[in-house]
Amino acid sequence: MDYQYKITLFTPTYNRAYILERLYRSVQRQTFRDFEWLIIDDGSTENTEELVRAWMAEENDFPIRFEKQPNGGKCRAINRGLDLARGELFFIMDSDDYLTDNALERVVYWESTIHDKPMFMGVVGNRGTSEDYSPNRPLGAPYKDCNVFVRYPEYTKDVVDGEHAGVWYTELHRKYKYPEFPGENFMTPCIPWNRMANDGYQVRIFDEIIWVCNYLEDGLTRQGNMRFIKNPQGAGLCLREKAEFLHYPLKEKMKMWYTFYCDHTFCDEPYRLTKKQCAEYIGAPLPFVYFSAMVHKLSHFVKGLRKK
């Protein structure tokens, strides 16, 4: 397929007008210029659109494309971004962080070193809390070829830890879009990554910092476990596919089922699931969920006796 640009830098954003300019200035400073910046506004209620359209009118030597959609969550915005992308590589960049000046240049360099491209989903750079410091454990080599399961200690002892910056081949990622569940607006980004890895695709991870991140009080990371409680179908899908792809033994599956049951039936009323929903979303046998309920009640009864 012919592409107009080497990279589509894609930013989904929601109410980030107060900080988005920092990313914009880092985009302007890029040493590599064959890219477009595609922004999907996921239903912001402030002046994001006005701000971005003002930038579009400036004399940049790269195109800025903008679309606003009703609020549906980051994953729906990514799916829409994949539909619109005109770049060979798809680089998802959060609106509250920024790029190092040579980020796109290093992405293109490392992608050019891959010779067996049909077997790769893309390249992965490092994230830092500054341009010269990352809390992630060093790779011990300039790069590493592997699949994304190396993030999981269940898969390997040589875990690649921490947050990284993935840049995927657009055409491949379009085949692995995010599932969308009515009423849910969050899904962990690992679902398409894990599906690609399970189908045999690798990544080239390099140890250079290309993304500088700051965890804001209103960011997704700060919202913690409630993101999964409020979006149980996506959370259940992620867990059961991970268990399938990593070949969990029955004992580990049972732990996962029980934890999911407890998290989603002893939470606040608006988000509480029935036993049948728990079984369906996590892929557990319904009798096991009823058994889990009995175990949980018994454990609380025993704890109550011990306090007397």
Angstrom distance (rounded) from CA 137 to CA 129: 13
Please say if the pLDDT value at position 224 is more than 70. Answer: no
What is the pLDDT confidence band of residue 216, given thresholds at 50, 70 and 90? low
Q: Give me the sign of the Cα torsion angle 75, 78, 82, 83.
A: positive
Q: What is the mean pLDDT of the chain?
A: 93
Put simply, whether the predicted model's pTM sits higher than 0.75 gets the answer yes
Give mean pLDDT, residues 253-272.
Answer: 92
Please say if the pLDDT value at position 107 is more than 80. Answer: yes
Give mean pLDDT, residues 290-300.
Answer: 81
Digit-coded pLDDT (tens) for 123-134? 999 999 999 999
What is the pLDDT confidence band of residue 220, given thresholds at 50, 70 and 90? very low
What is the pLDDT confidence band of residue 305, given thresholds at 50, 70 and 90? low
Give mean pLDDT, residues 262-282.
Answer: 93
Digit-coded pLDDT (tens) for 40-50? 999 999 999 99
Please say if the pLDDT value at position 91 is more than 90. Answer: yes
Q: What tokens were used for 147?
A: 């699949």
Give mean pLDDT, residues 263-291.
Answer: 93
Please say if the pLDDT value at position 181 is more than 90. Answer: yes
Give mean pLDDT, residues 43-72.
Answer: 97
Give mean pLDDT, residues 64-80.
Answer: 97
Give mean pLDDT, residues 149-161.
Answer: 95
Give mean pLDDT, residues 183-189.
Answer: 93
Please say if the pLDDT value at position 221 is more than 60. Answer: no
Quote the pLDDT of residue 277: 96
Give mean pLDDT, residues 282-296.
Answer: 91
Please state, in angstroms and as integers, the Cα–Cα distance from residue 206 to each residue in 142, 170, 186, 200, following that order. Answer: 6, 19, 28, 20
Buried b (16+ CB within 10 A) or exposed e, 119-157: ebbbbbbbbbeebeebebeeeeeebbebbbbbbeeebee
Q: By the 8 A CB rule, do 30 and 101 touch? A: yes
Give mean pLDDT, residues 160-181.
Answer: 97
Quote the pLDDT of residue 35: 98
Quote the pLDDT of residue 182: 95
Please say if the pLDDT value at position 300 is more than 70. Answer: no
